Amino acid sequence: MDFDSWEPTYLKILADFGFSRKGDERAALILSRMLEQDQSKVEDNSAGILALANLIYGKDILVCGNAPILANELDLIDTGDYVIITADGATAVLLDKGIVSDIIVTDLDGDVEKEIAANKKGAIVVVHAHGDNIDKVKKYVPRLRGVIGSTQATPLDNVYNFGGFTDGDRCVYLAKEFGAASITLVGFDFDDVDVSDMKKKKLKWAKLLIDAI
């Protein structure tokens, strides 16, 4: 993702939600420093983007959102045909079905204990830092291995911007960034009425961003 191309969209998102760019940048810097410290102590704590490329390039990707329809939709497909990328809380739905995600994209807002369990079984975790989740980054990143940092603001040396805003659409942008052969979506309901007004706005942005690519 070329940040100069992404930045105008990012600025529109900030304006729409009233979010702070400084907050996002501070969170990214904190995550960056944590990953640097952990990498010096534990050799395998930073998986590196090469691991993502090896998993995704030329593969059929299944992106799992966390809408209530996810469990039923999973029953209709053979997940073994895909490399699986889950958006945050969707990880727990799959794990309860005995399915371990290959990649988890998370801002640590879902069932993080299930994400840690999947991580222990081999899932790579792309941890997203933004202005509102610094406490969770500090709490949970030390418990994870194979961590790759992400931001929606200006990228750093070890905290990347692959594009996207919500966990779901960031999964899609990640798959596209690393050359997926195809991307199939399950567990997405952009018109869910049983969510908060904030969530409805986020779903609107998710659809716009996914439609854009």
Q: State the pLDDT at residue 33.
A: 95
175, 183 contact by CB (below 8 A): yes
Q: Tokens standing for 200?
A: 């409805």
Q: Tokens standing for 123?
A: 């899932």
Region 122-126: mean pLDDT is 96
Residue 139 has, within 13 A of its CA and on its CB side, a CA count of 10
Q: State the pLDDT at residue 143.
A: 96
Q: State the pLDDT at residue 39.
A: 52
Q: State the pLDDT at residue 69.
A: 96
Q: Looking at the predicted structure, is the pLDDT value of residue 168 above 70?
A: yes
Region 73-97: mean pLDDT is 97
Name the DSSP class of 57: T
Q: State the pLDDT at residue 27.
A: 97
Q: Tokens standing for 2?
A: 């070329």
52, 148 contact by CB (below 8 A): yes
> Which residues share a beta bridge with 106?
127
Distances (CA, A) of 211 to 10, 96, 190, 203, 204: 16, 30, 12, 12, 11
Distance CA 82, CA 136 (A): 30
Q: State the pLDDT at residue 47.
A: 55
pLDDT, mean over the chain = 93
Distance CA 167, CA 184 (A): 15
Burial grade of 193 (CB within 10 A; 0-12, 13-18, 19 or more): exposed
Q: State the pLDDT at residue 37.
A: 72
Quote the pTM value.
Answer: 0.93
The continuous run of DSSP H or E covering 12 comes out as helix 3-17
Q: Looking at the predicted structure, is the pLDDT value of residue 156 above 50?
A: yes
Distance CA 134, CA 197 (A): 23
Q: Looking at the predicted structure, is the pLDDT value of residue 45 above 70?
A: no
Which of 134, 138, 125 is closest to 51 using CA atoms? 125
Of 119 and 49, the one with more pLDDT: 119
Residue 1 has, within 13 A of its CA and on its CB side, a CA count of 26
Region 154-176: mean pLDDT is 96
Report how far Cα 118 is from the mean position of its chain's Cα atoms.
Answer: 14
